[in-house]
């Protein structure tokens, strides 16, 4: 694609303006009109010849050579460097460079004016790209607008560089939440750790008695043989099952910060799975009410989190309504072994009948934990200080809603489920903390 440059447009306008001279001469001095007209036509011919020569030289120029360098994967809401390398001798100075990135980041600084590097064969330009959502992002071709030698024309070159790249959740958030949850769970669980010895724990070794060991830890036969108190040492039981029942319906499509509540639910799922694998347990995931069913049975080994991540990172919430009873039936069809089942969703008071039916089905074989993701807007209303009648109605309505929500939590607990609620950005750490506490207490 070739378009006229600014310089050519200015020259053509100047030439057209000079065309007024023969017209004025015909009105004022008719004898000089032929001479001025000839000069004007001669100037136009010269300009045309010069422009054609410049265009011919541009057409004969070899296409530029360029390549894009990307990371192997991106993280949502984090900036990543994207480098474009151009062969310095394949393009001219004052060229405009653009890149067909996914288009969800308006702050890349493109297009940009580039010049061939004077100190090497490669000219490199790096810009920062921040993906706004998970999934598969698509980079298109590299575009370069090159001026002709006289800068009368510009030619657009499209350099083939299309590629797809996965955009994963932000792992820096997961690592931060994991550390916080680990510290909190140790503080909460340390007071009850000794009381639960032998429950959900595996025998590790015999050792000498230490002050503070419970009587249940003492091995009386070994103590009699050695004539000294000997205690049994336990370690947390491994190879237990953790299944996240993830709501893929419209309830988690709400925005929370710069991402959806579903992204926070996905972070919670990955953080729990990573922690379970680290503890020697086997994490699995089932998506319900999504556009497509997804069932990943509990996986073991160090690569389990990578397998889960490759299945989960492109998921997006669907416009469907959440069906808890159907999700429970599907899970029982796929998995019978006792597990900790973590239901991640956003509850509403009118969910009671469907949700209780699901909990009754699941609790026959599994320990069920219901994680309710609160809406940020509801939290703001709860903290609102009424200053008008409208504010008063909002606060009153929220109080009624909160009362119904607490009643639902109570019924779920009576049905045998554990219940936790948190704002979207607090839920990953809160769930991870609770899992570690249950693990240390031997309740899995």
* DSSP H or E run through 368: strand 367-373
111 preceded by a cis bond (ω within 30 of 0): yes
Q: Give the chain's length.
A: 444
Reading the block at residue 28, the tokens are 């004022």
What's the N-to-C CA distance of the chain in angstroms? 66
Residue 86 CA to residue 144 CA, distance in Å, equals: 10
Per-residue pLDDT of the chain (444 residues; tens, 9 = 90+): 899 999 999 999 999 998 888 777 766 766 777 888 888 899 999 999 999 999 999 999 999 999 999 999 999 889 999 999 999 988 999 999 999 999 899 999 999 999 999 888 999 999 999 998 899 999 999 999 999 999 999 999 999 999 999 999 887 665 565 555 455 545 544 434 444 433 445 556 788 888 877 788 888 888 888 888 888 876 555 578 999 999 999 999 988 877 889 999 999 999 899 889 888 899 999 999 998 889 999 988 767 888 899 999 999 999 999 999 999 999 999 999 999 999 999 998 888 999 999 999 999 999 999 999 998 887 777 777 888 888 888 888 888 888 889 999 999 999 999 999 999 989 998 999 999 989 887 787
Q: What angle in degrees, to the nearest 10, is found between the helix axes of 20-28 and 33-60?
A: 170
Phi, psi of 117 (to 5 degrees): -65, 140
CB distance 217 to 204 below 8 Å: no
pLDDT of residue 195: 40
- Number of Cβ within 10 Å of residue 373's Cβ equals 25
- Number of Cβ within 10 Å of residue 108's Cβ equals 17
Reported pTM: 0.74
Q: What is the dihedral of CA 205, 208, 210, 213, to 10 degrees?
A: 50
Task: Return the ∠ at Cα 393 (arms to 390 and 396), rounded to 5°.
Answer: 150
Closest C-alpha among 363, 362, 294 to residue 332: 362
Residue 174 CA to residue 168 CA, distance in Å, equals: 12
* DSSP H or E run through 331: helix 324-334
pLDDT of residue 77: 87
Residue 360 CA to residue 341 CA, distance in Å, equals: 13
In terms of Cβ atoms closer than 10 Å to its own Cβ (0-12, 13-18, 19+), residue 408 is: buried
């Amino acid at each position: 694609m070739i378009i006229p440059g600014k310089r050519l447009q200015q020259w053509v306008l100047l030439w057209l303006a000079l065309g007024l001279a023969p017209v004025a001469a015909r009105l004022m001095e008719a004898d000089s009109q032929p001479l001025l007209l000839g000069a004007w036509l001669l100037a136009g011919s010269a300009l045309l010849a010069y422009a054609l020569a410049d265009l011919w030289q541009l057409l004969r120029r070899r296409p530029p050579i360029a390549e894009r360098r990307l990371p192997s994967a991106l993280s949502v809401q984090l900036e990543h460097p994207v480098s474009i390398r151009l062969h310095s001798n394949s393009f001219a100075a004052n060229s405009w460079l653009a890149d067909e990135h996914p288009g969800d980041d308006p702050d890349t600084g493109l297009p940009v004016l580039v010049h061939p590097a004077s100190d090497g064969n490669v000219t490199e330009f790096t810009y920062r790209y921040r993906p706004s959502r998970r999934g598969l992002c698509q980079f298109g071709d590299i575009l370069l607008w090159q001026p002709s030698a006289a800068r009368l024309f510009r030619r657009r070159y499209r350099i083939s560089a299309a590629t797809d790249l996965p955009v994963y959740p932000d792992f820096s958030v997961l690592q931060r939440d994991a550390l916080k949850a680990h510290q909190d769970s140790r503080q909460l669980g340390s007071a009850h750790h000794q009381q639960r010895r032998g429950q959900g724990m595996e025998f590790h070794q015999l050792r000498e008695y230490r002050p503070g060991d419970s009587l249940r830890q003492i091995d009386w036969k070994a103590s009699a043989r050695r004539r000294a108190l000997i205690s049994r040492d336990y370690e947390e039981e491994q190879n237990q099952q953790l299944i996240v029942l993830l709501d893929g319906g419209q309830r988690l499509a709400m925005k929370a910060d710069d991402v959806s509540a579903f992204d926070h639910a996905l972070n919670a799922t990955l953080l729990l799975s990573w922690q379970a694998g680290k503890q020697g347990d086997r994490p699995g995931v089932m998506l319900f009410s999504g556009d497509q069913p997804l069932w990943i049975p509990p996986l073991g080994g160090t690569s389990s989190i990578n397998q889960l991540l490759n299945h989960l990172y492109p998921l997006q919430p669907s416009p469907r309504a959440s069906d808890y009873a159907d999700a429970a039936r599907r899970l029982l069809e796929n998995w019978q072994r006792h597990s900790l089942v973590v239901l991640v969703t956003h509850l509403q008071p009118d969910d009671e009948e469907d949700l209780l039916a699901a909990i009754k089905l699941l609790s026959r074989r599994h320990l069920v934990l219901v994680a309710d993701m609160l809406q940020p807007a509801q939290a703001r209303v709860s903290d609102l200080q009424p200053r008008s009648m409208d504010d008063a109605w909002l606060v009153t309505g929220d109080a009624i809603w909160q009362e119904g929500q607490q009643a639902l939590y109570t019924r779920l607990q009576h049905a045998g489920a554990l219940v936790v609620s948190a704002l979207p950005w607090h839920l990953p750490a809160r769930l991870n903390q609770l899992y570690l506490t249950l693990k240390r207490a031997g309740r899995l």
